[in-house]
Structure 1
Amino acid sequence: MKLSKFSLLLVLGLFFSIFMVACSNNENTSAGNDESNEAVEESSDVEQVFNLTETDIIPTMDSSLATDLLAFQALSNTTEGLYRLGENAEIVDGIATEHEVSEDALTWTFTLREDAVWSNGEPVTAHDFVYAWQRALDPATGSEYGPYMMGGVLKNATAVSTGDKPVDSLGVKAEGDYTLVVTLEKPIPYFESLTTFGTYYPLNQKFVEEQGDAYATSSDALLSNGPFKLTDWESTSQSWTFEKNEDYWDAEAVTLEKLTYDVVKDPQVGVDLYDKGELDRTDLSSDIVDVYSANEDYEVTLGTGVYYLKMNQTTSDALANKNIRKAISQAFNKQALVDEILNDGSIAAKGFVPKNFVSLPESGEDFREASGELSTFNAEAAKEFWQKGLEELGKDKVELEFLTSNSESSKNMGEFITNQLEENLEGLEVTLKQVPFEQSLALDDEMDYQLQLSSWFPDYLDPYTFLNLFITDGGNNKMGYSNPEYDELLAKTADELALKPVERYEAFLEAEKVLFEDAAIAPVYQSARAQLISPKMQGVINNTFGALYEYKWASVAE
């Protein structure tokens, strides 16, 4: 997920809260294991309520329209897809109990459980998935994530999304009420993980159409088929509650009775409420981390979001020069940035695919470790590349504009990087352009920038979710980068190597090296989240992608 595709609220709170995470909290227990069951038994006499916050209102509860972390978290609480994410990104049963894959890996046949119902009592059927997936691709719906998550995956998805084919030509059909047959455009090694994502959730067609424009605008205009029901909510609500869904097919596994949420934008207010015992978890901003880092409830979780400098080769002849780009990528001290500016456990990024995200199929080695340090701070090397680039350009100085949002944290980041670049690259003058985030999105879409701080959070469990950003003319490229060798390697991972996992990951490793040999981007840091977490919170799973947290198996324990 590209952060710039999310709501303004998430970026304005960029360093304060909400980041995707790559590993589970050490105190969490895994779904369904003996420890978890014991915790449930021990906590049976405890009030099973988590009191939590978000940085702003839920922007939408329509799974076809959701694009941001707040919406996907809320949808994950209330809705169940074919599968769910369990501990350590393990895919566990949801509405589907099993599936079969054809020999050519193009046809997936899912068997659905017959005991799943919507909160209005109607059964959850294969028809609900067909309707939801068609709706997400119907141009009339205006979904952003439907075409993105399903295009090139489901057969005819792209043609449906552009209106070139009817929605009923999409590669999904119901064979009876409890068999869903999905036809893919090509083999997709990560398709099973896609089925856990919010865009692939089912919808009750009769209910959605009866609600019309009011659908998903209030609790009364929603249905749930997941662990919780959203109550006391309207589209502008500053507080809301998730209550246990007694009609959920696996309700016996759900211990929590409620999750209450209030909008709290100021991290210090969150800390004050936590100290009063009114919150069970709160995010810490960089300026108050040191005050609470010795607190016994202090925890840091490394995430999978990666922040990087985009260098637009179409608006600057200097950035079109590889030596200039190499100079910039090595001219700022990333370790100092994460230590002094972020101060939240984030780590310096030395590649693009993050640490603790995926492992090589055969050896089990972490992808980041296997790929190595491809971009590091080296002021002396940066100066050498800089001089080579200036000579090739026939210049002795370069002026660049650096686009950031105007939030306080973005300003601090922009000023730090600007000072480092100007200090280490003689003849470089950087002008900071700080604009409201909404404006920065428009400038990015129009490719009207030179340098820009960008980010990416994964949508599924595969290196392709990161590396496909830089395919020539790709929808998320938006910086004029093009390398036929890189394109060919990515194409192979999606086609001829799709069913050859070892060779496929070798191609990913090679592609990432090509990306950094070209210095196409300059990685900055891999995000983390610093928090105060009550020890009463047990069994909360930190997801690798999609919704931040899984609460199905969570409980309150003294």
Structure 2
Amino acid sequence: MKNSKFAWLLSLLLVVALFLAACGGKEEGTKTTTETDKETTPEEEEAAVVDEEQVLNLIMTAEIPTMDSALATDAVGFDLLNNVNEGLYRLNQENVAVPAIAEGEPKVSEDGLVYTFTLRDANWSDGSPVTANDFEFAWKRAMNPDTGSEYGPYMMSGVIKNATEISEGKVEYTELGVKAIDEKTLEVTLEKPIPYFLSLMSFGTFLPQKEEFVTSQGENYAKNSEAVLYNGPFSLTAWDGTGLSWKLVKNDQYWDKDTVKLTEINYDVVKETATRVNLYTNGEKDRTSLDGEYAMQYAADPELLKELETSVFYFKYNQERTGEKTPLANVNIREAISKAFNKQDLVDVVLANGSVPANYLVPKEFSFDENASDFRDVNGDMATFNVEEAQAAWEKGKAELGVTELSIEILGGDTDLSKKMDEYFKSQLETNLPGLTVTLKEVPFNVRLDLDTNQDYEIQVAGWGPDFQDPYTFMNLWLTGGGNNQMSYSNPEYDKLVNSANNELALDPAARWQAMADAEKMLIDQDFGIGPIYQRGLMFLQKPYVKGIVAHPFGGDYSYKWTYIEGKN
């Protein structure tokens, strides 16, 4: 995920609080000004939309892997969950976390460890009330080993009392520090004081689930749109669990339903750029992403939107596959691949969508210290494109492996753009690294997620969008056993630096900042644990009658709660 696109809470610490999640950080797009961009008062907007058909037609480039908030790990899932469900807090139009199902601010104990939330009157889509037990049940379910949640342990460990011990198998999941005092009162006990804990409450892993419904559904829970309950602005319908289309409809049980203007959002999964553009130009879709030749073709179009995301994409180098070491276990082979392809040409010619080369992990224009200095200024660029250095490392690596030729597989997506990128990588690497043969494995998104989880790949094109606004959201991915580290990378010194930033250095901003910068340099420019590729930019065509889409820098990519149609007819 987003940036999201995609960022969240933490200015300096997030102490342990912010362990993870899916998807991306980005800033609101910019658009060429048209007459429809004139500012209006809320009263004028209300009057203007009365006679409009409030239907939005959108495109997704990947299927829905799951609608279970305990299991979601991807941008598609978190984006939809953000629009059909709601937690204690929600990101508003200014990307500030504000009370949602929580009715106002919680009471906080003097030691900063115990938060007591009072819930507002809110209902599920079946008309039953949202209760404190729905939060207790959902959070504990996410920590139950039988559920198999990746994000539950990652987000809650070091944050919610006992979560770390539960993750380590030392304490039962039922001992998680969350308790429903009564139907309207939820008590949360933290492991230690966390200044930005309330912002964390807007993240998808902390959404509620109704115990009675989940239990009655059994293994069928969240496998289709009828097997989920919704307490957010919209409800999901017409999703059979595997299909390439679905829709959101306004949830009349939502506590803030009067704010929601759209009655329906229609989605279709379309992976080919040409098809997406055709659907947009013939009026079947209201918004579409652009890349490559299409981005250049529509660069001056008045309906163009641009977004610079805080999502970074990279090669994951898997050092062990099916119990055996891969060629990527050799640091010189990893260095060679990291430096052997021209990132500038990739973003200019292949992507052509506003993306920029990434010679780093933590994105630029994302996280700033107390002096408003960008984290990116500390290390600058690392592991830059350099054929001479790449070939020197390549020859050294081959000699250490005792081979003159190597065949390496790259795992990528099955979209049009993914295929073009993979072909570019293959051409660059085979040209610049003598004796290398690259094979391409291009699969649907959900298949790639499974292969990643099972560590069944050699090189994978992957990306990460932040879960909160702090470098730690990127750095903790690569801890030994970390949330995205299905590639057997491990360095005790890296672990020490990153863990210190989240513990003893939490209240020393300058030292904490430097520790994370040192860790980033170790990962990228010493161990070559991953190979950064690009920081994503996005270009969209959007119909001028579509108003009020809110892009988020982390968590769910977009909110449609405030979206409306004006001037279409």
TM-score of the two chains, using structure 2 as the length reference: 0.83
SS where residue 105 of structure 2 aligns? strand
Worse-matched range after superposition: 375-384 or 505-514: 375-384
Deviation at 1:335, TM superposition (A): 0.4
Instruction: Name the counterpart of 1:224.
Output: 230
1-structure distance, mates of 2:235, 2:136: 23
Q: 1:25 aligns with which of 22, 29, 37?
A: 29
How many Å apart are 1:56 and its aligned residue? 5.2
Match of 1:464 in 2: 472
Paired with 2:452 and 2:66, the residues of 1 have a C-alpha distance of 24
Structure-2 change in CA distance of 1:406 and 1:209 (3 Å): closer
Q: Deviations over 1:345-388 (max 9, x none)?
A: 2211120012233222x02233234442123223344455556x
Separation of aligned partners in 1, 2:276 and 2:137: 41
Of residues 524, 547, 550, the one that matches 2:556 is 547
Pick closer, same or farther for the CA change 1:400–1:37 going to 2, 3 Å: farther
Q: Would you say the 8 A contact 2:157–2:163 is kept in 1? A: yes
For residue 240 of structure 1, what is the amino acid of its counterpart?
W
Q: Distance in 1 between matches of 2:326 and 2:75?
A: 37
Distance 1:369 1:325 in 2: 25
SS where residue 307 of structure 2 aligns? strand
Matches within 5 A, 1:371-410: 371-383=379-391, 385=393, 389=396, 393=400, 397=404, 399-405=406-412, 407=414, 409-410=417-418
Quote the residue 2:536 is aligned against. 527
Residues 342-351 or 294-303, more deviating: 294-303
Asked if 1:297 is matched to 2:303, the reply is yes
Q: Check whether the contact 1:231–1:242 (CA below 8 A) recurs between aligned residues.
A: yes
| Number of the residue aligned with 1:286 | 292
SS in 1 for 2:408: strand
Preserved contact between residue 311 and residue 363 of structure 2 (Cα < 8 Å)? yes
Q: Structure 2: how far apart are the matches of 1:283 and 1:239?
A: 17
Match of 2:427 in 1: 419
Moved more, 311-320 or 446-455: 311-320
Q: Is the 8 A contact 1:79 1:225 kept in 2?
A: yes
Structure 2 Cα separation of the partners of residues 368 and 353 of structure 1: 7
What is the CA-CA distance between 1:290 and the residue it aligns to? Answer: 3.0
Corresponding position of 2:439: 432
**Percent same amino acid among aligned pairs?**
45
For the structure 1 residues 539 and 391, does the alpha-carbon distance in structure 2 shift closer, same or farther, using more than 3 Å as the test? closer
Point out where structure 2 has 5 or more consecutive residues left out of the alignment: 3-21, 34-38
Matches within 5 A, 1:365-376: 365-376=373-384
The equivalent of 2:353 in structure 1 is 344
Give 2:313's aligned residue. Answer: 307
Greater relative contact order (Cα 8 A, min sep 6): structure 1 or 2? 2
What letter matches 1:253 in structure 2? T
TM-score, structure 1 as length reference: 0.84
Question: Mean alpha-carbon deviation: is it higher for 63-72 or for 309-318?
Answer: 309-318
- Structure 1, gaps ≥5 residues long: 3-17
- The answer on whether the counterparts of 1:99 and 1:111 sit within 8 Å (CA) in structure 2 is yes
The 3-state SS of whatever aligns with 1:168 is: helix
The residue correspondences of 1:115-126 to structure 2 (distance < 5 A) are: 115-126=121-132
Change over 3 Å in CA distance of 1:507–1:161 after alignment to 2: closer
Change (3 A) 1:48 1:435: closer
Asked whether the equivalents of residues 404 and 410 of structure 1 are also in contact (C-alpha less than 8 Å), the reply is no
Return the match for 1:334 from 317, 322, 343: 343
| Deviation digits for residues 323-362 of structure 1 (CA, Å, limit 9, x no counterpart) | 55444322221000111222222211120012233222x0
SS at match of 2:534: strand
Q: Quick check: 1:51–1:260 contact (8 Å CA) kept in 2?
A: yes
Distance in structure 2 (CA, Å) of the matches to 1:445 and 1:66? 13
Corresponding residue SS for 1:175 = strand
In 1, are the aligned partners of 2:23 and 2:466 still within 8 Å (CA)?
Answer: no
RMSD, matched Cα: 3.5
Task: Give, in whole Å, the separation in 1 of the partners of 2:378 and 2:349.
Answer: 28
Q: 1:222 offset after TM fit, Å?
A: 3.6
Counterpart Cα distance in 2 of 1:508 and 1:475: 17
